[in-house]
Structures are given as C-alpha cells and as structure tokens.
Structure 1
Amino acid sequence: MSRIIIVDTDRTASAPNQQQLFQAGYECQVLTCPEKALNFLSTELIDLVISEVNLPAVQGRAFIQRASQRFAMPIIAWSDFVHSEQRTQTYRLGADLCLTKSSNSNELLASVYAMLRRVSIEQQRKHLVSADMQFNQRLKRLPLTTTEMDLLNYLLQRSGDAVSKIELQQRVLQREYSPFDRNLDVHISNIRKKMIKTGLNMLLIKTVRGVGYRFELPK
C-alpha cells in the first residue's frame, strides 16, 4: 500500500481528500506543521507528498523546496493558483505537479495514481531481475512501452514458471480473459521483436502450449 502525506495547516479542509485517498486504497496522513512533516519524512518511507503552497509565513514554499532537495518522492503542490507565474515559481521550488484546489477531486486522485505509477515504472527499470549484469543492462535498454515493461517484469518475477494467459490478462493488462482477444499475444510478440533488435534471444520468453508464457534466464 502506497503511503501519502498531506501537508496543510487546515486539517478540516484536507479531511475529504484524505478520505478519498483512503477509499482508493492509499494510506494517508495529514500533517499540519511543515517542520514536523520534514522530520517525519526523514524517519518514514513515504511514496508521495501533497502540500498546500500558501501556508502561513511562506512555510509551504519553504517546505516544498526543502523536501524536494532532501527526499526523492514526488510532490504535488495543492493550492489556489491565480496565474501561471505562481505555478512556474512552484515548479522551480521542486514540485512535480501543480493542482488548483478548485479542481475536481477526481483530478487529484487521478494525478496521484499517475505520479505513483511513474515512480513504480522507474523503480522497475532499476530492479529488473537478472543473474548476469550485462544481461540486466541489455534488458533495461529495451525500448518498451509501459504495458510491455509491466509484462516483462511480471514474467521475470516468475522466472522459470509457466504463467497462464488468464493471469497475465487479469494481473497485468487488468482485463478479463477472452480466447479471442489477441492483445496479450501482440504485446509479447512486440517484446520479442525488440529483444531481437537489441541482440537478445526472443526465446527468453517461451510459449507454453495450452497455458501461456514462461521467461527463462540464460544459462
């Protein structure tokens, strides 16, 4: 479960957003003191920060700047932006995304999902499992789409096991399996083609007849 903190001196105003994030499956806390929030980030593993910009005594801007310099998690700046220059200044402080409080609440939820997905993809690229470093580097250089990377990582994590098409459809592509749906096969074919272009053996991903696919690390 991804962990999120909201930094805002008005706990009541942030309560609906906290509840929405909780209902979406995220662990979310509201911290009303920017200084305490920085101390919290230094001791806890947090995946995303949502911070009000216009806190008293420019604490919001100072918090965003200091947090972006010290920690690697993404920051969504959440405020009543009046003009583009305010957004530009906030991005310069280190925010990854600026949203206005007048935005539809679903936009905040969608933005949180997108930011965390981006972080997840970046982490996957850094941790592709391989027994051989050179092989690992070649895998990471594959020009894969997001979906292709998700599929490859899932097969890598289950390396040596036959993974059914039903499982791949539901767990990775997030759609119900249909024997007439060729979407999964097309993605696997594209991964194999890209492997060939980079000098890798397309048979690293083997077809298991009547089941699905299996990734086999080179011996």
Structure 2
Amino acid sequence: MSRILLVDDDKELCELLQEFLELEGFDVDLCHDGQSALRKGLNTAYDVIVLDVMMPKLNGFDTLRELRGESNTPVLMMTARGDEIDRIVGFEMGADDYLPKPCSPRELVARLKAIIRRVGLDKSTDNEPPLADHLIIGDLELFTTAHRVIRDGTPIELTHTEFSLLLVLMQQLGNLVSKEELMRKALNRKLGPFDRSIDMHLSNLRRKLGPYPNGNTRIKTVRGMGYLLLKPEDTP
C-alpha cells in the first residue's frame, strides 16, 4: 500500500480526497499547514507528498524548499490559481508534478500512480527488461540502482522526474526523443495539448547539468519536435 501525505488547509476537501484515495488503496495522512507538513514529511517515509500552495504558517513553496533541502520524496503541487508562474516556480524548486485545483479525484489518483511507477515503487508493474546500472557519457555518470548522477566526480541533486528524463535521453544518446515519448517513458502519462511540464523539467535539468567541459551544449532542443542528448564531440 502506497503511503501519501495530503497537505491542504481546506479540511473538507482533504477528507473527501482522503476517502477517495483510500478506496483506491492508498494509505493517506492529512496535514493542514506547511509547518506540520514539513515535520511529517521529514520524519515519515511517504511515497508521494501532495502539497497545496496557499497554506497558513508556511506556504507550499516554502515547505517544498525546506523539504528539498533534506528529502527527495516526490512532491505533487496543487494550487487553485493555476498560474503558469506557479508551475514554473514549483518545478524549479523541485516539484515532480503539478495539478491545478479544482481537480478530478480520478486525475489525482492517475497522477499519483504515475509518479509511483516512475520512481520504481510499484514493482508489480515492472515488465521492462533490466537496465544497465551504470551509464557514462563524457563527464556524466548515471547509476540506475542507486539513483545517483555524478558530473566530473561531483554528485548532482536531481528530482525523480529529472532523473527519469536524463535516463531516457542517455539511453537514446544522439537520437531525437519526442515530447510524447519523454512524457510516456519518464512521466508515465500522455502529453496534453497545453502541457509544458516536460519543457520546464528539461530546462531545470539543462541548468543543473550545464554544458560539457569543452563548452558544447549537452541537451539540444529541436523546436516543435523534442530533445536529444548530444555526444560530447557534437556541436549543436
């Protein structure tokens, strides 16, 4: 049973979502402010934390910032405002996914299950062939089992989503990977017509990795088509 921490100051909404999620097989804990969420999130092993943006005592962004200082637990952000700037800020701070409010409980369940599959917590759905445990491209090393990325000997802190995207790109070195394929393989869901989450995650990944030591671009964007991880000797 996957354990979820649901954080929202709307107690009635929390109870309704808790009831629905528990019917879907989740074990759900509730919090109604950021400070309580931070304490629970850092002291309890959750599979996913669902975090509202507008909360008392500590808002969702500040809670996420504090969580990311000590934890890589996947976080799904929710906000009633739905502004693009909220999505960008959330992704830049390490959120794994984003869902505007009001949302369908069924969509929330689908997003949670996709995140859990993505981070390898649901072993029963793993029918893929085993992956190479250690991938090396230039100064970049990726360890699938340990979920670690090292650049020139220095560990790079990536979210689960960023790690999944990088893994797909490294497996397809030098080949264009469409947004649809990245969404399916890395986020376990279909690409929506107005979904820019892949672009935001790739922007953060590119910033964290930087260029190759020779100055060449590491990740190239092909407008309207997708992304590819270039070989160190390639020029964009």
| 1:149-195 deviations in Å (ceiling 9; x for gaps) | xxxxxxxxxxxxxxxxxxxxxxxxxxxxxxxxxxxxxxxxxxxxxxx
CA distance in 2, matches of 1:50, 1:68: 14
Deviates more, 1:7-16 or 1:54-63: 54-63
- The alpha carbon displacement at 1:21 in A equals 0.8
- Aligned residue runs from structure 1 range 51-70, under 5 A: 51-56=51-56, 59-70=59-70
How big is the alpha-carbon RMSD for the aligned residues of Structure 1 and Structure 2? 2.5
Question: Residues 102 and 8 from structure 1, CA distance in 2 versus in 1: closer, same or farther, beyond 3 angstroms?
Answer: closer
Q: What does residue 234 of structure 2 align with?
A: none
- Aligned residue runs from structure 1 range 35-184, under 5 A: 35-56=35-56, 59-120=59-120, 140-141=131-132
- The alpha carbon displacement at 1:55 in A equals 1.3
Local SS of the residue matching 2:46: coil
- The alpha carbon displacement at 1:104 in A equals 2.0
Structure 2 residue runs of 5 or longer lacking an equivalent are 125-129, 134-236
CA distance in 2, matches of 1:6, 1:45: 13
Give the partner amino acid of 1:25: G
| 1:83-128 deviations in Å (ceiling 9; x for gaps) | 212211111122111101123221111000000111126989xxxx
- The alpha carbon displacement at 1:140 in A equals 3.5
Q: What does residue 2 of structure 1 align with?
A: 2
Indicate the structure (1 or 2) with the bigger Cα radius of gyration.
Answer: 1
Local SS of the residue matching 1:81: coil
Question: Residues 20 and 140 from structure 1, CA distance in 2 versus in 1: closer, same or farther, beyond 3 angstroms?
Answer: same
The number of equivalent residue pairs is 129
Deviates more, 1:95-104 or 1:105-114: 95-104
Give the partner amino acid of 2:132: R
Instruction: Give the TM-score taking structure 2 as reference length.
Output: 0.50
CA distance in 2, matches of 1:2, 1:53: 23
Q: Is the 8 A contact 2:53 2:61 kept in 1?
A: yes
Q: Could you tell me the percent identity over the aligned residues?
A: 23
Local SS of the residue matching 1:56: coil
Q: What does residue 206 of structure 1 align with?
A: none
Question: Residues 23 and 111 from structure 1, CA distance in 2 versus in 1: closer, same or farther, beyond 3 angstroms?
Answer: same
Question: Residues 42 and 89 from structure 1, CA distance in 2 versus in 1: closer, same or farther, beyond 3 angstroms?
Answer: closer
Q: Is the 8 A contact 1:18 1:28 kept in 2?
A: yes
Q: Is the 8 A contact 2:33 2:56 kept in 1?
A: no
CA distance in 2, matches of 1:140, 1:77: 30
Q: What does residue 155 of structure 1 align with?
A: none
CA distance in 2, matches of 1:31, 1:47: 16
